[in-house]
Amino acid sequence: MKRREFITLLGGAAAWPVVAHAQISAKLPTVGFLGTSTPAGWIQWTAAFVQRLQELGWIDGRTIKVEYRWAESRNERFAEIAVEFVQRKVDVIFTAGTGAVAAKQATSVVPIVFALLNDPVGRGLVASLARPGGNVTGLSTQFIDLAGKRIDLMRALSPGLHRLAIMFNASFPDAVVEADGLRETAKTLGLEVTVLEIRQGTDIAPSFDQLNGRADMLFVCSDPLAIANRVRISSLALVGRMPAMFGFREFVEAGGLMCYGPNVPDLFRRGGDFVDRILRGAKPADIPVEQPTKFDFVINLTTAKALGLTMPDNLLALANEVIE
């Protein structure tokens, strides 16, 4: 072989890994991450998801590409982002709540994983929890099943509980389902129920004004709007001397009195397992929808003291965390 031909061949061989690397990089599997709230509102949840992916070998920018989009609690953004992800041909759409509904409306082909959704069967996203049967699977919160437990805990704090107010985002289907389940359970137990409907942040303060002594306790349903405004809601409840219970620990960390509900970071972490299985070839139709296995009952003693409440010892004993 002539020297010039050898050098040319060697040069081509040396360049091959670079070209190959560029081709591999361009083909990284892509996850479309549809956040229903804001990056700040989901910071702990997103971190749990990313950490689990890393543990499974999926490192953003190296073995996987994660594209983040945030709907910022605006309903019209859910559909826009879902359509964008379909057009970009992502390999999996990862989301929660109404984000999953919007994604399902946008595609029946691209796999969809939800880490947080209430009643996916009732919402028509899956045929059953055991056999989803389509392109959607994930983790269901099943808030309706928690209604009785939540009222029991509120009664443990306030044995004379007779009037319950429920605040929920009437434009967010998951919150509507959660509120309906709690309302029906409360009425069955003989409680008077006052409903406070909100649709945007400016509705929150007027809703508290409506209470005006009409309730003994308040339950705030979880949705992107409430989560984004959790500090405001907790502050208004404190100013109004209204003991309030929430569904997620994030509200209590923001000054809320207490919460009982699924540990959301754990759900997002497990959501990473679903994404891993799909990227390795599993079909959503064959992956059963799972339910929470880890729950948070958190009490904020600082808020209790500010409200002039004494937490019963039996209630404190049930809490898996007390914030002082």
Q: What pLDDT, in 10s, does the model give residues 256-287? A: 999 999 999 999 999 999 999 999 999 999 99
Supply the pLDDT for residue 20: 38
Supply the pLDDT for residue 7: 39
Identify the three-state secondary structure at position 251: helix
Find the length of the chain.
Answer: 324
Q: What is the dihedral of CA 6, 9, 11, 16, to 10 degrees?
A: -160
Q: Which two tokens stand for residue 285?
A: 């139709």
Supply the pLDDT for residue 26: 57
pTM score of the predicted model: 0.84
Supply the pLDDT for residue 205: 96
Supply the pLDDT for residue 119: 86
What is the residue extent of each domain of the chain? 8-141+264-293, 144-262+296-323
Contact 234, 222 (CB under 8 A): no
Q: Is the dihedral of CA 306, 310, 316, 318 positive or negative?
A: negative
- Residue the block writes with tokens 């709690």: 182
Structurally, at CATH architecture level, domain 144-262+296-323 sits in: 3-Layer(aba) Sandwich (3.40)
Supply the pLDDT for residue 23: 40
Residue 298: its H or E element: strand 295-300
Sites in the chain below the pLDDT cut of 50: 1-25
Contact 101, 94 (CB under 8 A): no
DSSP state of 34: E
| Residue (of 165, 169, 155, 170) closest to 212 by Cα position | 165
Q: Is the dihedral of CA 89, 92, 97, 103 positive or negative?
A: positive
Q: What pLDDT, in 10s, does the model give residues 54-90? A: 999 999 999 999 999 999 988 889 999 999 999 999 9
Please state, in angstroms and rounded to a whole number, the distance separating the CA atoms of residues 226 and 237: 13
Q: Which two tokens stand for residue 245?
A: 């219970």
Q: Does domain 8-141+264-293 correspond to CATH entry 3.40.50.2300? A: yes
Helix axes of 98-106 and 75-87: crossing angle, nearest 10 degrees: 40
